[in-house]
Amino acid sequence: MIKKEVLDALNAQINAESYSAYMYLSMAAYFENMGLSGFANWMKVQYQEESAHALKFFNYVVDRGGKVELKAVEQVPVDFDGIVDVYEKTLIHEVHVTDLINNLMNVAVKANDHAAQSFLKWFVDEQVEEEANVEKILSTLKLINGQGNGIFMMDRELGQRVFVDPNTAG
């Protein structure tokens, strides 16, 4: 049986992952409105990843005999100040999610919940990758000052990204 403090933290994380998904879908809509379908695709894949993360937490809570409690997702931003701003906000958000995962791990450690710690290790590793990916894109955007022909080349490259579901990947 899962301890209450771990269950509460996991339910909060389901909500945080849902917020992340919704935020990335909002960013995808922003890029679609700009005519940048590749950038929109990258954000849509982020949306799918965050939705899959929420489901991964959901399934873990169920598997541990806990009760999933879904809460309302707060309003996400819908207006941005250009492409660089979107990725700066994305990086800030991913650092925030890393903090949430680290705090969740701290709850599991304090509760002496080894199963939760094992489960959460995947997310700790995933956040390293998430931050690195965004930092790489942001660095490239800053090199080209977020404009010019480089944007069209990046748009084409980011349009190639595909979603791999961590819930089914072996």
Query: Which tens digit of pLDDT belongs to each residue from 11-69?
Result: 999 999 999 999 999 999 999 999 999 999 999 999 999 999 999 999 999 999 999 99
Q: Is the pLDDT confidence value at 170 over 80?
A: no
Supply the CATH number for residue 104's domain: 1.20.1260.10
C-beta pairs of 137-140 under 8 Å, 24+ apart in sequence: 137/42, 137/87, 138/84, 138/87, 138/88, 138/90, 138/91
Residue from 140, 156, 170 nearest 41 by CA: 156
Q: Average pLDDT, stretch 121-141?
A: 96
Please report, for residues 30, 36, 71, 142, 149, the alpha-carbon distance to residue 83 in angstroms, rounded to integers and kept in the order given. Answer: 9, 10, 31, 10, 14
Q: Average pLDDT, stretch 102-109?
A: 98
Q: Does a structural domain hold residue 169?
A: no
Q: Does a structural domain hold residue 129?
A: yes
Confirm if 13 and 70 have CB atoms less than 8 A apart: no
pTM of the model: 0.94
Residue from 17, 4, 126 nearest 66 by CA: 4
Binned at pLDDT 50, 70 and 90, residue 169 comes out as low
Q: Does a structural domain hold residue 170?
A: no
Amino acid at residue number 89: K
How many structural domains compose the chain? Answer: 1
Mean pLDDT, the chain, rounded, equals 95
pLDDT in the model for residue 100: 98
